[in-house]
Structure 1
Amino acid sequence: MLRAALAAIVLLLAQTAQAATCREETYEGVDYAICEVDLTQDVLRLFLYEPVNGRPYGYFGKLNSTLEEQGFALGFATNAGMYHDDRAPVGLYIEDGKTAQKLITRKGPGNFGLLPNGVLCLRPRRADVIETLRYVEEAPECISASQSGPMLVIDGELHPRFLRNSASKYVRNGVGTSDDGQMATFVISNNPVTFHAFGSVFRDHLGIRNALYFDGNVSRMRAPDLGRSDIGFGALGPIIGVVEGQTPPPPQVDAVPNADDKE
């Protein structure tokens, strides 16, 4: 019995060690906060509207208070895509199976319309950044999803419109995912940075082949590991965060073809 109990404690500690972790690093003279979320251990969710009154959460603190009423807590969190003045998402937004905004595939003004843009797709125990037209082709069954743009890295290549010597520098944040979908890496620059430099952090420093831009000056992060919970100016739109106290759901299983089916 004692041996079994000790084994269970060791397993629990091992799982805790693999939970969402945040750190600060400097790359090519720019400081970044980097948070890694292991989807096999952590529950990563999208949030926009409060369930009671239908108003946007807007702030990490308000979202955390709601989760605490449910017996959970908000761990790491960041803004998760562009939004209009009323906090409604600009592009595709799905939360817990409910679609609040449809996918947009056309070119348009601003960073969102700088094609190719993409979608962060959340499924049980996995997260994937998918370029928008590929998303249309593959039609993944996302439990939650947020569309933003531009893509930072597409199949290992930086967005073709990024200029190394661009004069446009802002605080920026975004997300990249591992090829197997088990790890989501969120990055926010602590200093103003170009798109080219920001995309290079994902591709060249972190070795991530697909990454998506979330936003610029409004970018904020909650990182308990770093003692950080940005307040900023004004309310946010979509928020993505780790829900502490929830257990990851079973992985999604593809349908098994009938043995009698022919190719």
Structure 2
Amino acid sequence: MTIKRTLSLALIVSLAACNPEPSGEPVMRAQLESDGGVTVIASDDASNAPAEQIALPSDCSGVTFEGAAFTHCIADPASHSITTAKAAVSGDDFGRIASYAAIAQPGTVAFATNAGMYGDDLNAIGYFVQDSQRLKELNRADGEGNFHMKPNGVFFGSDCNWRVLDTDTFFRTIGDRPQFGTQSGPMLVINGELHPDFQENGPSRAIRNGVGVDADGKAHFVISDEPVSFGVFARYFRDELQTPNALYLDGNVSSLWNPATGRMDTGRVGPLLVVEKK
């Protein structure tokens, strides 16, 4: 990885810390480039800089892996928080991210995506925690469809600690209720290995999205920009992002809202994962 401007050790530490930048101080931001490098973006005190100079860059970027196009979004505990929400169940945009965007506080959302699989009532069919309130119990049942392609798993967290675990490990080891949590399936990567039922590049192709957490604690949200197989999608998390665990969120209804670029997908969703700026 190359650094395009020299940073002092103290600044590197401050970027990695799980704290927002103090208000009123000059801000230094690091933007991950598609080639793996980092561009350091300096800005003056927001009160003195023109709006176009202090506008935050997008946390999402387009990437290509094994010939397929993806959009990759990064949530960093140093500068983001994660919460769950639900799309509206009525109105013109019911079941779409736009219904949440209409009531979100302007400027607070970095990006948002669908959070997992849901029933006809748009409620999650698996474990779902919003604002530390458990709205749905952990689902360990057998059944048909992607959700029940065991092992499935849970993406959850509190404060700056975000994790992906397979459902059985979550059930055995997690006793405290997190601030947010969503269950989906199948797991894409389990302890560094691909899901055992995935073919290298099987015939099932769909727009897919998922999430994984790397060794530094950053959450990587990925949505394919074209139909891809489970194998290709899972290898992107394992080989490129190097997330030891990654969870499939959904396919075909997969949707992303990226305010920085104006992207607002219109797929029908239910539960949502919202990444907010600190």
Displacement of 1:72: 5.6
Q: State the partner residue of 1:59.
A: 96
Contact 1:122 1:143 in 2 (8 A): yes
Contact 1:57 1:63 in 2 (8 A): no
Alignment map for 1:215-234 (pairs within 5 Å): 215-232=250-267
Contact 2:59 2:110 in 1 (8 A): no
1:92 aligns with 2:127: yes
Cα 1:118–1:59, aligned 2, differ >3 Å: closer, same or farther? same
List per-residue Cα deviations over 1:164-221 (Å, max 9, x = no partner).
14111111000000235x3100000111111111000100121111100000010011
Cα distance in structure 2, aligned partners of 1:48 and 1:208: 27
TM score, norm. by length of structure 1: 0.80
Q: Across the two proteins, how many residue pairs are aligned to each other?
A: 231
SS at match of 1:66: coil
Cα distance in structure 1, aligned partners of 2:171 and 2:180: 15
Displacement of 1:138: 1.0
Percent sequence identity over matched residues?
A: 36
Contact 1:126 1:183 in 2 (8 A): no
Q: State the partner residue of 1:187.
A: 222
Q: State the partner residue of 2:108.
A: 73
Higher relative contact order (CA closer than 8 Å, sequence separation 6+): 1
SS at match of 1:67: coil
Cα distance in structure 1, aligned partners of 2:170 and 2:98: 33
Gaps of 5+ in 2: 1-22, 32-40, 42-55
Q: State the partner residue of 1:108.
A: 143
SS at match of 2:118: coil
Q: 1:13 aligns with which of 25, 28, 40?
A: 28
